[in-house]
Amino acid sequence: MQGRNIARLAAGVALGAALLAASQPAIGAESEAPGDWYFTASGMQESLDAGNDGAGVQVAVIDGQINPDVPTLQGADLTIAPSICYDEAGNPIPPTTDEMEGAHGTNSVSLIAGAGAGYPGQVGVRGAAPRAQVTYYSVGPDSELLDPLCFDRPGSQRPGSQRGVPERFEQALDDGADIVSIQIESSDTIDPLLVARAMREGVIVLQSLSNEPFDDWGTGGLASMNGVVGVQAIDAYGDPQNGAGSTDPGVDVAAPGVGMTAQGGPGAESWETQTIQSGTSNAVPFTAGVLAAVWSKYPEATGNQMIQSLIRNTGVEDHELARDDSLGYGIVSLRHMLRVDPTQYDDVNPLIVDDRELQGAGGVETVYQPTYLEIFPEAATPEPTEPPASGDPFEALLPVFVIGGAVGALVLVGAIVLVVVLTTRNKQRQGERNHGKA
């Protein structure tokens, strides 16, 4: 897991309260539009007014079906990738739908790139990056059944994949995504080597934590993988969705996700109905939108530097880097991140653990997926250094006066005597250095 063994400092709740208290008017139950509290609290309108709209940033969203016809997505730079899923009979499962099954994915994209247009009398779901280049990768439908839900073209099951998440993840990397936003739970297993590739290429991978309270089974799946950003959901008062005392060792940051406006969704009879929904499925796309907005202000930053800024500039005020199991490094702050140029940070993903330093520590074997060497295989291959260059071209001409032990030493006397003897060839190069990233 990403830096799970560092000291956990309980500063997150205070940061969350400060972040939310900084917004005016007051938010929460007293707000005129309680489901829009995240928009006011984060300062999205000020950011948009300043031109920080996500332009030029490529965001991949992996989710179920989507309804691209909702008003808030009209005009969005949205590309919908062709479906890779077929039902058991071999019929394609379309990536788009006007049924309510598409509400989850629709609202996820809206929290990134929604411009705010709504049905009559409404303000639509809004995101921090309405000009981001969003590519949508649909996967098989959600179900509690263990049966495969995304067959390949002949109608046969995909190896190790029920919904097609691993295939979509690889496709997003192939398509050049800067940010990958995954806000669905799935039993699909993404190959750690694919995650290693994403980390190597500096792609920001966001994964939602479970909405259920953490238990002794531990955090699993993509959110626990080395270098991936695990996102928790908070309410309008800065508390984690499962209560102020709830913890999860998989959390890296926390973001608004509880009590937020959604278009359609469970309980809605039509798309014109707005509901209030909660969960980490809101927190992940919110975070993706914030990252895209900030990145559009600082386009020279790398993905690694954006992650540095994400975890260092949480809350309202500057602070030392500190983490706990409640809010991770703190609450995602659009305002704070916009104030700080991320190019000042090292081009290193701070969530990647070099597990070589932890192997066998304290008698306990720590396992990370992917391993550091899977992410940076060149770190396992030391490269020899060149011998130091000499400034004297005649330094290599060493006088040697050995004829043989039986004969003895031959002494040459004269004004200038130069004896050249060829030294042993293929002299061993000295020193080794290891490649790696801190």
For 204, the 3-state DSSP assignment is strand
Strands 260-263 and 274-277: antiparallel
For 288, the 3-state DSSP assignment is helix
pTM (2 d.p.): 0.81
Q: Which whole-number Å values give the CA distances from 391 to 388, 396, 423, in the listed order?
A: 10, 11, 19
What does the CA dihedral 335, 340, 343, 346 come to, rounded to 10 degrees? -100
Handedness of CA 266, 267, 271, 274 (dihedral sign): negative
pLDDT in tens, the chain (438 residues): 333 333 333 333 344 444 544 443 333 333 357 899 999 999 999 999 999 999 999 999 999 999 999 999 999 999 999 999 988 888 889 999 999 999 999 999 999 999 999 999 999 999 999 999 999 999 988 755 445 578 887 667 776 677 899 999 999 999 999 999 999 987 778 999 999 999 999 999 999 998 888 754 445 689 999 999 999 999 999 999 988 878 889 999 999 999 999 999 998 999 999 999 999 999 999 999 999 999 999 999 999 999 999 999 999 999 999 999 999 999 999 999 999 999 999 999 999 999 987 865 554 555 789 999 999 999 887 655 565 555 454 444 334 333 344 334 333 333 333 333 323 333 333 333 233 333
Residue burial 315-326, b: 16+ Cβ < 10 Å; e: rest: bbeebeebbbbb
**What is the C-alpha separation between 150 and 359, in angstroms, rounded?**
38
The residues assigned a catalytic role are 63, 104, 281
Handedness of CA 266, 269, 271, 274 (dihedral sign): negative
- Structural domains in the chain plus CATH codes: 12-378 (3.40.50.200)
